[in-house]
Structure 1
Amino acid sequence: MKNTLLIIGLSLLAFGCRPAEGTLFSWGNTDVRYEQDECPEALTQQAFRYSAWKGEKMFAQAVFYAVEDMKNVQLQVEDLVADEGVIPAAAVKAQFVKYVWADDFIEGYRQCGKRIRHEQDSLLVADMVDIAPETDVAAGNCQPVWVTVDVPSDTPAGIYSGELKIKGTGLWSMTLPLQLQVVDEILPEPEDWKFHLDLWQNPYSVARFHGVELWSQEHFDYMRPVMQLLADAGQKVITATIMNRPWNGQTEDPYGSMVTKTKKENGEWEYGYEVFDKWVEFMMSLGIDKQINCYSLIPWSLEFDYLDAATGKMETMKAEPGSLDYKLYWGTFISDFAAHLREKGWFDKTCIAMDERPAEAMKAAFETILSADPEFKVSLAGNWHPEIEEDLYDYCVAFRHPMPEDVLQKRQSQGKVSTYYTCCAERYPNIFTVSPLAEAVWISWHALAKDYDGYLRWAYNHWTADPMKDTRFRTWTAGDCYCIYPEGRSCLRFDRLVEGIQDYEKAVILRERWMAEGNQQKLDALDEALKAFDYKTITDEGAERAVHAAKAVINN
């Protein structure tokens, strides 16, 4: 099999006068979060290689260490040039990694529960990939640099060479050579990836952070770069809310309802879908258009609001799932909602979605949905419940509550979606601010090993009060609430998650090819590598060894 090798040389060149003795600029390791106030040790001192395909994003990390104060430090990348063509500098990004506040893990595997800052260690962690063109670096500080090569799909095969430069006031230009070998393997566009990624979005956080009116043009303008990163990661699901505060106020920015419910003076109901339609159309314009998950019929409080036309006031009623009031409130809405979705052409891709609730409550909700419209799809993220599996089109189970293999195979044959999730209940694998970076890659390999269609996580951008500086939150481990920063700033853990999804896609393509070719040696090697992606192995060894071994199979 032909491979694409990203070959980055590690020689260090200085232009002009020599930098101060001890100043360092070298390639590092993408599995490492470098400490801010320490000179990195044991950096790679020889060329290292990545497997890359056309259409793939490749990530690398360089490290700059200053022995004197450096001002206005800037990065510069060039075109990557080969005899066969050019990869433009616009496809090669070099960005400064910024440090944010985090708290460390609490004792034990489960990480849910109130955080009291003075009782936990707080630390600065390299995470945010900044969009600022320059930065200052204090004496004795380490400044990581995150490099992304977005290989164009039409790149001719060949060996492409260029340079990464760093310069600034008081700093003569220092250079790292970069070389990329491209051959004929093509990764599909993200919207065509098979991996079912479901990271829950929170548009309300964006409006609060930027101080703009909800659903205004300014609001959508600020959301565009944030949600575009998600689309570029292959996201399949739009997170929508059909009631107010489905999860109470557990996040800094509680969800509102994207639909309005009005009880008219004659007792009939009227519904408004203007916000829902604008949100869905916006997300679809970015390429996120496979599924719409609408939350939720079973909120934590079991309180349901509506506008009373007779008084002009918002009213709230409390109703247990299965009660007459519950059935009337939701049954009437679901029938009207289904008609609206059919008119928009969205019905077949829409699910009424819930997360884990008591089994009897979920059964009552299913009955209400299917009584109103038996063709409506239902989604659940929760533990394994064999008694309700048949009712679920989209079923996402907890990491340590796996779905039986025979059920997975049956669901795949039925065209249903079967995924898994992690949250604060799992110390690992996860994408907390302090999680080892290889775990973000491990997540998708686990999906492949266990035959899941993909992965769900509850929080893409539930930003904290000061998300650019402090990822700590009052209830969960730092970073549990979000894995992306405002204005389209990515982070190390999100990019490594994308890397793992790309690995999943490559492995699926290669496995199908090897099966068609009868290449049993390759198939056996892949199967053997996948055995390491389980709870016991990650507990005993961590994520790095399994990830590197699996990558070796698909990259050789």
Structure 2
Amino acid sequence: MKKSLLILVFWFIKVITIEAQVTGFFTSFEDFGVKLSNNTEFKAWQNETLILPFVINADTINSLNFKVSVDAKNVKTEFVQLHLVEGDLSAGNCGQAISDGVFEKKMFPDRAEVLTNNSFKVITTTSYGLVKLVLPDKLKSGKYPLKLTLSQNGDVQILNAVIHVIDRKLPEFSSLKYEIDFWQFPLSISTYYNIAPYSTKHWDKIALMFDELKTINQGVVTTSIFYDLYNTSVKPLDQMMIQVCKKEDGSFTYNYSLFEKYVELAASKGISKEIAVHNLFPWNLTYFYFDEVDGEIKSFESEPGSQVYNDYWAPFLLDFASFLKSKNWMDKTVFWIDERDFTLSEKLIKYVKDIDPSFKFGYSGRFSQTLSEHIYDYSLSSNIILEPEQLLARKSKGYKTTLYTSCYEVQPNMLLSSNYNDVYFLVMLSKAQGYDGMLRWAFNLWSPQIMKSALFSDLPSGDSHIIYPEEQVSLRYLLLVDALEEVLKTQVKFKHEETQQLLTAHTRYFLRNNENERNSMVRAMKNYLND
């Protein structure tokens, strides 16, 4: 009797121990980390890409095997591991405020790696992942069981869900009437990988970047006259996108070969609506050229309107206009001004258009009615309200208007520490306000440690990137794609009265400062679109 009892106790303890090794559950982006009940339904349209988040708790860090099965034909599945990245809670702070401040640090599940060998790398006791489903456009409406099987050290955990496909077909992504503009940093790529700038390997990486941009409906290629948007350090001549050389007689020559190749590569990837050109009015007011007499890069500081500024830029503008016209690019080229003084910006625009009135301008920052008359592509901070007549005036001229967020916005934002619902809210807010899309200042400005840490000395974590090296994106990027599919759904249901009511509800100003109400707004729109 005692022997049987001991065996029973031993068996019971063994079962409890094994069962405790690995557990998991599906969760939602609305309440990330909160366990959903077994067989929770996830609604989707035909032709939609669905991402289901889940959490794994394991006692050991041994690799974990997985298998995904869906009781439906032709459903493509991907398994994504969300790696933890270190970040801080410094939203709303920029520059010196971050350098001088002390902010709480946390680990965020952000770096998204697509797994191809059915093995999940368990690094910490709690891990995060996604099941990504691409639903066929001809999939019949109905409910389809999904099973995610996890196994580790002989222990098996099965997570069940139900994919509820409703009788609506999502249009092709190419029909999306909503533009994304993330500014690109090609030299950040070569620096991270330690490869020669604009070498064959670098161009291959740039091509991959353009592929990732096209997935979010990017239409703008970001270019610089010099090295990048901010030019915080002097680099060699062969890293200038447009190589500016001063000859012995004091005249200038311009080599557009890198600029041309970069723009044409972007176009080959489907990014060809606009060529954004930076550096006419940079933050540091610094300009560069290669002095052929001294054989070195030289720089000087000046602001628009000064004689030295005008003398430097006039020959370039004339030559650049000739080059753009020869390529048939003039009409889609836009000189970009980023949060610069209104008066100096107006002075610059007048100076440039006096040389060639065909040049266009873009501006990101506060709204100026006077400036708006001359700005083809105007991106406004998300907390700015544009009056209906102001927007109508811009539309009547064929102008483009977007919103953007930066390090200054505490909420809503797209930082590592931001609520996941903020991605959906911001995308839909721009749509609700009648804008053409949204802008972010940095797609891929990486630090050497970006795969593990997004800490910067002067930026909130996540402000400077939405993709990672090694062809990995972020969770925020995947949510952005999902949010753009929600916009596609509003296009289908745009004439419905409830669609208009919910879009209008997004514009209520208090939502920008009330996370709970913002979450409710996002949830209400999702429920309606998937009804």
TM-score by length of structure 2 reads 0.88
Partner of 1:10: none
1:73 lines up with 2:72 in the alignment: no
1:489 paired residue number: 472
Aligned partner of residue 410 in structure 1, secondary structure: helix
Find the counterpart in structure 2 of residue 104 from structure 1: 89
Distance 1:176 1:217, change over 3 A: farther
- When residues 142 and 298 of structure 1 are mapped into structure 2, their CA distance, relative to the original with a 3 A threshold, is same
Deviation per residue, 1:188-242 (Å, 9 max, x gap): 234x421121111111111111111111111122233333222111111111101
2:419 matches 1:419: no
Tell whether 2:45 aligns with 1:58: no
Deviations 1:35-67 (A, max 9, x none): xxxxxx54334522323242x32221122222x
- Residue 331 of structure 1 corresponds to which residue in structure 2? 314
Whether 1:28 and 2:27 are equivalent positions in the alignment is: yes
> How many Å separate the matches in 1 of 2:64 and 2:467?
24
Alignment CA distance shift 1:308-1:111 (3 Å): closer
**2:223, 2:275 within 8 Å by CA — same for their partners in 1?**
yes
Hey, what does 1:530 align to over in structure 2?
Answer: 504
Where does 1:38-187 land on structure 2 (aligned, <5 Å)?
Answer: 42-54=35-47, 56-66=48-58, 68-78=59-69, 80=70, 82=72, 86-88=73-75, 91-105=76-90, 109-110=92-93, 113-115=96-98, 119-132=102-115, 133=117, 134-137=119-122, 141-152=125-136, 154-159=137-142, 162-172=146-156, 174-176=158-160, 179=163, 181=165, 183-187=167-171
- CA–CA distance in structure 2, aligned partners of residues 161 and 46 of structure 1: 8
Aligned position for 2:6: none
CA spacing shift, 1:50–1:490, aligned 2, 3 Å: farther
After superposition, where does 1:342-353 map in structure 2 within 5 Å? 342-353=325-336
Q: How far, CA to CA, are the matches of 1:114 and 1:95 in structure 2?
A: 36
| Cα contact 1:112–1:425 (8 A) shared by 2 | no
- TM-superposed CA distance for 1:94, in Å, is 1.2
* Change in 2 beyond 3 A, CA 1:534/1:44: farther
Aligned match of 1:540: 514
Native 8 Å contact 1:198 1:237 kept in 2: yes
- Cα 1:71–1:390 change in 2 (3 A) is same
Q: What residue identity is the alignment partner of 2:363?
A: L
Q: In the alignment, is the contact (CA less than 8 A) between 2:87 and 2:106 conserved in 1?
A: yes
* Structure 1 residue corresponding to 2:201, chosen from 218, 242, 266: 218
Is 1:207–2:198 an aligned residue pair? Answer: no
Structure 2 unaligned residues grouped into runs of 5+: 1-14
Structure 1 contact 440–494 (Cα < 8 Å) conserved:
no
Which structure would you say has the larger Rg? 2
Cα distance in 1 for partners of 2:327, 2:431 equals 34
Q: SS at 2:195's partner residue?
A: coil
Q: Report how far residue 112 of structure 1 moved.
A: 5.3
User: Does the aligned pair in 2 maintain the 1:356–1:383 contact within 8 Å?
Assistant: yes
Cα pair 1:430 1:439 within 8 Å, conserved: yes
- RMSD of equivalent CA atoms: 2.6
8 Å CA contact retained: 2:25, 2:35: no
The amino acid of 1:555's aligned partner reads N
**CA displacement, residues 6-32 of structure 1 (integer Å, 9 cap, x when unaligned):** xxxxxxxxxxx9982243222111234
Q: 1:145 to 1:245 in 2, by over 3 A?
A: closer
Residue aligning to 1:475: 458
1:69 counterpart letter in structure 2? T
Offset at 1:469? Answer: 0.3
Q: CA deviation at 1:76?
A: 2.9
Structure 1 residues 464 and 110, CA gap change in structure 2 (3 angstroms): same
- Determine helix, strand or coil for the equivalent of 2:114: coil
Task: Identify if the C-alpha distance between structure 1 residues 402 and 177 changes in structure 2 by more than 3 Å, giving closer, same or farther.
Answer: closer
Deviations 1:378-428 (A, max 9, x none): 111111011111111101111223322112122223221101111011011
Query: Which whole-Å CA distance do the structure 2 matches of 1:130 and 1:295 have between them?
Result: 32
- Tell me whether 1:392 sits opposite 2:379 in the alignment: no
**Cross-structure match for 1:550:** 525
Pair 1:310 & 2:293 matched: yes
Q: Is the 8 A contact 2:49 2:134 kept in 1?
A: yes
SS in 1 for 2:63: strand
Distance 1:98 1:32 in 2: 19
Q: Secondary structure in 1 aligned to 2:83? A: strand
- Kept in 1, the 8 Å contact 2:170–2:488? The answer is no
Amino acid at match of 2:36: L
Letter in 1 for 2:155: L
Distance apart, 1:156 and its partner CA:
4.1
Q: Aligned partners of 1:541 and 1:72: how far apart in 2? A: 37
Note closer, same or farther for the CA distance 1:256–1:214 as it changes in structure 2 (3 Å cut): closer
Distance 1:529 1:324 in 2: 49
Where 1:490 maps in the other structure, the secondary structure is strand
Q: Distance in 1 between matches of 2:36 and 2:141?
A: 28
Q: SS of the counterpart of 1:301?
A: coil
Q: Which residue of 1 aligns with 2:284?
A: 301
Report deviation, 1:177: 5.0
Deviation at 1:280, TM superposition (A): 1.3
Q: How far, CA to CA, are the matches of 1:97 and 1:219 in structure 2?
A: 27
Q: Give the drift of 1:158.
A: 4.3
Match of 1:236 in 2: 219
Give the distance between the partners of 1:527 and 1:51, measured in 2 at CA. Answer: 22
Measured at CA, do residues 351 and 53 of structure 1 come closer, stay the same or move farther in structure 2, by a change above 3 Å? farther
Equivalent-residue separation in structure 1 for 2:178 and 2:96 (angstroms): 31
Q: Distance in 1 between matches of 2:493 and 2:224?
A: 39
- For 1:222 and 1:213, how far apart are their aligned partners in 2? 12
Partner of 1:404: 387
Cα distance, 1:374 vs. partner?
A: 0.4
Q: CA offsets, 1:161-201, max 9 Å, x none?
A: 554332344433635355352644232234x4211211111
Does the Cα contact within 8 Å between 2:145 and 2:160 map onto a contact in 1? Answer: no
Q: How many residues align?
A: 508
Q: Tell me if structure 2 keeps the 8 A contact 1:157–1:184.
A: no
Q: Which of structure 1's runs of 4+ aligned residues deviate more than 6 A? A: none
